[in-house]
Amino acid sequence: MKPTLRLAGITTAAALLGLVACSPQRPAPTRATVKETNQRKHAPDFALKDANGKLVHLADFKGKVVLLDFWATWCGPCGIEIPWFTEFERKYKDRGFEVVGVSMDDAGWTAINPFVARKKINYRVVLGDDTTGDEYGGLEALPTTFVIDRDGRIAAVHVGLADKEDFENAIENLLQTPAAPAGVDSARADGTNADGGARSHS
């Protein structure tokens, strides 16, 4: 895998989403501003394997609020957020919330498994790849975290260490909104719009 390629450009994607304000040298903390419903873009679906080799798709979480965290074991700021996400998983799971961690470690499960055990991670962790990184705009920096609404749309994105309270506010906000009724375009996890158009972050 090529982490440099995989990580390339997510800052740009986040900037395009209008949710991130950062300078290259000392970025300000990103805020969990939840976009208005009509400004949200579909989160690309993915098929990534967990530690047991089982394929996990974003579509598996249809109807739930998903916190999708791109991270790596070598990323210090990621290690700060992971206990928050573990807490969120425990606190909100029964209300229709899931955390999915996408590890971008080149070393794969030999690096990830001990870290997961050490951090007592209680949510799904999958191994990322170049394709998924590209689908999410490329990844330049970690952590990069997407908060996805019940209809599979990206409601907020953070690049870099964010504030725990901001995440929690975003989650609470999204959990209070039910999924759109069947037949109403919004949450097509195949990544297309109702008219079949290709997904786009911009």
Closest CB to other proteins among 79 and 96? 79
Question: Based on the number of CB atoms within 10 Å of its own CB, is 150 exposed (0-12), middle (13-18) or buried (19 or more)?
Answer: buried
84: its two tokens: 């928050």
Q: How many other C-beta atoms are found inside a 10 Å radius of the C-beta of residue 70?
A: 26
Q: How many other C-beta atoms are found inside a 10 Å radius of the C-beta of residue 183?
A: 6
Rg (CA), the chain: 16
Closest CB to other proteins among 29 and 197? 29
Q: How far is the CB of 193 from other proteins (least distance, A)?
A: 31
Q: Is the dihedral of CA 16, 160, 7, 55 positive or negative?
A: negative
Count of residues engaged in binding other proteins, rule: CB under 8 A: 31
Q: How far is the CB of 140 from other proteins (least distance, A)?
A: 6
Closest CB to other proteins among 68 and 142? 142
- The DSSP letter of residue 2 is -
Is residue 115 at the binding interface for other proteins, with CB under 8 A as the rule? yes
Q: Which amino acid is at 185?
A: D
Closest CB to other proteins among 77 and 96? 77
Give phi and psi for 75, each to the nearest 5: -100, 105
Q: How far is the CB of 125 from other proteins (least distance, A)?
A: 15
Residues 120 to 159 in contact with other proteins, rule: CB under 8 A = 139-143, 159
Closest CB to other proteins among 65 and 75? 75
Q: Which residue has the tokens 């807490």?
A: 87
Report the distance separating Cα 14 and Cα 29, nearest Å. 13
Q: Which amino acid is at 59?
A: A
Q: Which of 102, 104, 126, 154 binds other proteins (CB under 8 A)?
A: 104
Q: How far is the CB of 147 from other proteins (least distance, A)?
A: 17
Closest CB to other proteins among 103 and 186? 103
Residues 1 to 60 in contact with other proteins, rule: CB under 8 A = 3-4, 6-7, 11, 24-27, 29
Answer yes or no: are the C-beta atoms of 69 and 128 closer than 8 Å.
no
Residues 61 to 80 in contact with other proteins, rule: CB under 8 A = 72-80
Residues found near other proteins in the complex (CB under 8 A): 3-4, 6-7, 11, 24-27, 29, 72-80, 104, 106, 111, 115, 139-143, 159-161
